[in-house]
């Protein structure tokens, strides 16, 4: 059974490894999303701020990642939207063999957001990746709009209500227990 924990700096390499494994899977399918390895600067500040989570299997191997932040990206979301009680997911990824874990992680992020007073779970997805966008629609997200900025590849904005519920997907993947979060 997998377990989720708040990532700490020693988890950095494992966190980046999961992102690289997910990226390699996409690149092998010809989907040009994400760099082969994210720069440390794209993840470490969130780990240090207590916003990053890593899912590990029974042997301790990292198999899933997510960042959950109360701060939205002002390139994409308007000031009015940023003032709303929303939480923002990014760097959600899984390794091979864990199909369904990502959906459970989204549910977990929604529960976590709701428990902290958030009413919405939001994310921005790769603009040109229609399959990924279909995935989020299938997960119950609404397409808010797509923002096109020359210096950004993402910008397809999605949101769904944040619900304080424990789903079967969370139970199936060991994410049902009390939150491991220490909110700083």
Ligand X SMILES: CC(C)(COP(=O)(O)OP(=O)(O)OC[C@H]1O[C@@H](n2cnc3c(N)ncnc32)[C@H](O)[C@@H]1OP(=O)(O)O)[C@@H](O)C(=O)NCCC(=O)NCCS
CB neighbour list of residue 38: distance below 8 Å, 6 or more residues apart: 16, 19, 20, 91
User: According to CB under 6 A, which residues from 24 to 83 bind ligand X?
Assistant: 26, 31, 33
Shortest distance in whole angstroms from residue 33 CB to ligand X? 5
133 part of the interface to ligand X, by CB under 6 A: no
x-or-dash string of contact with ligand X, 7-26, rule CB under 6 A = ---------------x---x
Residue 80 vs 139, nearer CB to ligand X: 139
Only one of the segments 7-15, 47-55, 67-75, 125-133 lies at the binding site for ligand X (rule: CB under 6 A); that segment is 125-133
Give the residue nearest to ligand X (CB).
102
Q: Which residues bind ligand X (CB under 6 A)?
A: 22, 26, 31, 33, 92-94, 99-103, 123, 125, 129, 131-132, 135
């Amino acid at each position: 059974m997998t377990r989720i924990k708040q990532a700490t700096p020693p988890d950095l390499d494992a966190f980046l490894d999961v992102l690289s494994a997910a990226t390699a899977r996409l690149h092998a399918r010809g989907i040009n999303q994400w760099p082969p390895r994210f720069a440390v600067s794209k993840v470490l500040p969130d780990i240090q701020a207590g916003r990053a989570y890593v899912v590990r299997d029974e042997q301790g191997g990292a198999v899933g990642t997510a960042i959950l932040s109360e701060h939205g990206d002002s390139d994409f979301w308007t000031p009015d939207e940023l003032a709303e009680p929303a939480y923002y997911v990014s760097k959600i990824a899984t390794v091979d063999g864990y199909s369904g874990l990502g959906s459970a992680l989204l549910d977990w992020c929604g529960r976590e957001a709701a428990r902290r007073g958030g009413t919405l779970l939001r994310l921005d997805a790769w603009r040109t990746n229609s399959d990924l966008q279909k995935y989020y629609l299938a997960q119950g997200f609404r397409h808010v709009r797509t923002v096109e900025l020359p210096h950004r590849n993402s910008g397809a904005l999605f949101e769904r209500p944040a619900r304080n519920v424990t789903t079967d997907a969370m139970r199936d993947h060991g994410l049902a227990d009390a939150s491991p979060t220490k909110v700083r």
